[in-house]
Chain A
C-alpha cells in the first residue's frame, strides 16, 4: 500500500504538467550503463543498471533500475527500482527527488530519494543520493569515460553505499559501507547505441557490514570478470 502512495506522489506533478509551447522536442531515451554477466567461481550473476527517461529540459521523469540476479540460486540478490523527478539546479547538475522500492529475495524496502547528478570538473560523472527509509543510506557514484581512441573507451567507476544505521535484516551496520569499483573497456559498435564491453568488477564490504556477510557465509569481497554491453536509445 505504502508503495502505491509513493508512486502517486511522484507522478502527480507529471500529470498536471502541460507540454512545451514550442517545437522543442520531448526528450526520452534509455541509457543502459551496465547490462552484464559477472563471472566468479561458483557465484555468477547477471547485473543491470539503467535509466529510462522522458521529459523536457526543465523536468524529467526517470525510471532507474539496478539489479543483481544470481544464476545458481535463481534469485535477485538486489532489485532496486526508482522513480525520480529530475530538474536542473546549475549548469552541470540536476537535482532528483523520488521513491525507491527494493524487492529482492527477502525483505522489501521503500525509501524516499533526494540527490544530485551531474558532471564535475575534469569530466567526472557524479551521482550522490540520500535514501531515507527504515534504515537510510548515502550513496555516491562516480564514473569517468577515458577515451583511448574515439571508439575504444575505458570507463572506471566507483560506488560507495553507506548505511546510516544498523539493519540486521539487510545485513548492514551503521557507517560500514559497501564499495564497488570497476573498469570496463567498451567499443562503440553501433554509433553510441550499442557498445559491448569486457571488464572487472570488485565489491568489498567494510566493518560491521563485512562481519554480517561473513556470518551469513558470504565473502567480505568478490572480484568478477564481466562481459556486457552499454546501450543508448
Chain B
C-alpha cells in the first residue's frame, strides 16, 4: 500500500466514522439577516431580507439530514429565526424569550437540529415586526422515500402582503384608530344603494343592527393598502415560472403574509391539492382554494397548451391581488381577472352558529343582514341552531366524498339550484357567513372538509382531555386575546408529555384567526378519524367552533398564537409548557420562564 492510498484510506475511515457519529448526512447553511430596499412596483421602502435579497431565500433540506444553520444578524436590533412547522428541540425553535435569548446585532447564532419530516414549510423572524417587514423565506424538504405523486418540475410560490408602512407604525396606527387601514367601510352611498335595492326600512335596520354592536360588516381585513407579492415581486413585476406543455408542475404555495388570506386560482388550469402544511393529503382536484396566513399548500397543475396562465391570488377582503404567471417562455402574459366584489360579514359571523342570541336583533337579520341565498340548509356540522332558534339536522360531510365529486366536469349550466347551494356551503364557515368562499368560475373550492391525510402520522386514539380556547378581542381597542385574557396577563397552558389534547377553538370575534402551535402537530378534526389532516396552522372562521388534536410529544416551552402579526402582538398568544417526558427527552425547563415574545 502506497503512502497516498494509505492516507486516502485513513481519510475515508475518518469520514465514515464522522458520518456514523452524526447518524446522518449533515448539511451546513448560512443565512444573513440584512437591511434591504424593497421595490414592489407600487412603492419602494426599506425592508428586511435574508442573504441581502428581497427575493425570498429557499432552504432545501433532505429528510434525515442533520442541519447546521448559521444565522448572522446584520441588523442594528435583535433578530431570531423561527422554523415554521418544523418538529425540532424547543431550544432550536427560535422564539426569543421562550426558546432562546434571540440573536444580537452582529452575532452569528448556530441552529442545529435533525430534519424529521418532509414537505413545504417556511421560516421567519419572531422578533418584533420583522416578519411583516420582509424577514421570511421558504423551506423545501425532500422526503427520504419517494413522493406518492409525480411531477416534472416545481416552484415555490411564496405570497406576502408588503405594506408601505413599517410594522411598528401599522401597529401604532391600529392602536390609535382600529379602522385606520379599513377603506372599505359602508358609506352614505352604500346606504343609498341598499335603500334602493332593499327598501329604506331594511337598510336602516341593517345599519342599526351593526351600529348597536359597534361592529362593521366590512371588517374582513384589518390591514389594507398593501401590495401582494409572489416570491418578492408585485403584480406589475409578474413573477414567472417556465414550463413545457404537458409537464406536471408542483407549486408550493406558502402564505407568508402578516395579515392577508388569499383565494388562489389559475384560470384555465385545474389544481390538484396534494399537500397541506407539509403533510401529504389524498389528492383533491379544485378550481380555487383559500390559503390562511402561514399555511402551505402544494398543488399539481398540468398545462397542456402552449400559452401563459395567470396565478391569481385575491385577498379575502378583495382589496388587492397577487399575480404571477406560468408560461412556456419568458415575457408571456395571460389575462389578469378583475377583483370580485368585497364580501360583507353577516350576523352569522357574529356567532349565531353557537346559539349566542343575546345581542342580536332578529328583525333586522331577517330583513337582509343575512344572506339567505348563501345559507345552504344542508350545511355544516351535525346540528345547527338556526336564526329562529330551532335546531336542524345537517348533513354529514364525513360521508360526502368531495374527492370523487368532479365539480369542474359538472355542467354548471344544468346544475340545479340545490346543487349550486351545496357547492356554496362549507362546514368550516358559519351557515350564512358572508365569508364562505365560492370558486370564481362556479367550480370546486377547496374546503378543510376535503382534506384527508395520505398516511396518518399517529395511531388514532381518543383525546385524554379537552382545552377550550375562545378567540376573543376588543376591536375598538385593538386588543386580541384568548378566553378574554391577553398574553401579558395570561398563565401558560401546561400540557403533560404523552397526552393527546383536544383543543376546542370558539371564534367569538368577527375576524378569521389562523392558529399556530409550535413544535407539535395540529391534527384538524374534519370528522375523518385517523384520516384527519395533519397541519401546523388551523384557521378558525368567525362564528365557528373548530377542533384540533395534538399528540403531546415534544417537551419544552412553545409558542401558540394567532399568526396574524398584529393580533399576535396585541395579545392573541399563549405560552405552552410541555412538562415531563421520558428520561433523556424531558426538557430542561427554566424555573421561571420569562413572559416575552421578544423583539
Whether A21 pairs with B180 at a CB distance below 8 angstroms is: no
Q: Which residues on A sit within 8 Å (CB–CB) of B168?
A: 25
Q: Which of A21, A22, A57, A148 touches B188 (beta carbons < 8 Å)?
A: A148
Is residue A91 contacting chain B, with contact meaning CB distance below 8 A?
yes
Is residue A88 contacting chain B, with contact meaning CB distance below 8 A?
yes
Whether A23 pairs with B598 at a CB distance below 8 angstroms is: yes
CA distance A88 to B484 in the complex (A): 14
Q: Name the residue on B nearest A149 (C-beta).
A: B187
Whether A150 pairs with B185 at a CB distance below 8 angstroms is: yes
Q: Name the residue on B nearest A91 (C-beta).
A: B474
Q: Which residues on B sit within 8 Å (CB–CB) of A22?
A: 487-488, 571, 595-597
Q: Which of A21, A25, A123 has the most chain B CB within a 10 Å cutoff? A: A25
CA distance A119 to B477 in the complex (A): 11
- The number of inter-chain residue pairs (CB within 8 angstroms) is 80
Q: Name the residue on A nearest B224 (C-beta).
A: A150
Q: Which residues on B sit within 8 Å (CB–CB) of A148?
A: 187-189
Q: Name the residue on A nearest B208 (C-beta).
A: A122
Whether B187 pairs with A147 at a CB distance below 8 angstroms is: yes
Q: Name the residue on B nearest A153 (C-beta).
A: B187
What 0/1 pattern do residues 178 to 202 of B give for CB contact below 8 A with A?
0010011111110000000000000
CA distance A146 to B188 in the complex (A): 7
Whether A88 pairs with B477 at a CB distance below 8 angstroms is: yes
Whether A23 pairs with B596 at a CB distance below 8 angstroms is: yes
Is residue A41 contacting chain B, with contact meaning CB distance below 8 A?
no
Chain B nearest CB, measured from A50 CB (Å): 13
Q: Which of A21, A92, A121, A123 touches B595 (beta carbons < 8 Å)?
A: A21
Is residue A29 contacting chain B, with contact meaning CB distance below 8 A?
yes
Q: Which of B173, B213, B479 touches A57 (beta carbons < 8 Å)?
A: B479
Chain A nearest CB, measured from B135 CB (Å): 15
Q: Which residues on B sit within 8 Å (CB–CB) of A146?
A: 188
Whether B176 pairs with A147 at a CB distance below 8 angstroms is: no
Kindly state the interface size class of chain A when it binds its partner.
20 to 34
Is residue B175 contacting chain A, with contact meaning CB distance below 8 A?
yes
Is residue B214 contacting chain A, with contact meaning CB distance below 8 A?
yes
Q: Which residues on B sit within 8 Å (CB–CB) of A20?
A: 488
Whether A123 pairs with B214 at a CB distance below 8 angstroms is: yes
Q: Name the residue on B nearest A53 (C-beta).
A: B176
Is residue A24 contacting chain B, with contact meaning CB distance below 8 A?
yes
Is residue A28 contacting chain B, with contact meaning CB distance below 8 A?
yes
Given A57-B477, A192-B173: A149 and B214 within 8 A (CB)? no
Is residue A9 contacting chain B, with contact meaning CB distance below 8 A?
no
Q: Which residues on B sit within 8 Å (CB–CB) of A170?
A: none
Is residue A232 contacting chain B, with contact meaning CB distance below 8 A?
yes
Whether B128 pairs with A23 at a CB distance below 8 angstroms is: yes
The B159-184 residues at the A interface (CB cut-off 8 A) are 168, 171-173, 175-177, 180, 183-184
Chain B nearest CB, measured from A11 CB (Å): 22
Can you name 21 A-B pairs with beta carbons within 8 Å? A22-B595, A22-B596, A23-B128, A23-B569, A23-B599, A24-B487, A27-B176, A28-B172, A29-B172, A31-B176, A57-B486, A88-B477, A92-B214, A121-B214, A147-B186, A150-B185, A192-B177, A192-B180, A232-B173, A232-B177, A232-B180
13 more A-B residue pairs beyond the given contacts A24-B488, A150-B184, A191-B180, with a C-beta to C-beta distance below 8 A: A21-B488, A21-B596, A22-B596, A22-B597, A23-B128, A24-B487, A92-B476, A121-B211, A123-B214, A146-B188, A150-B185, A192-B177, A192-B180
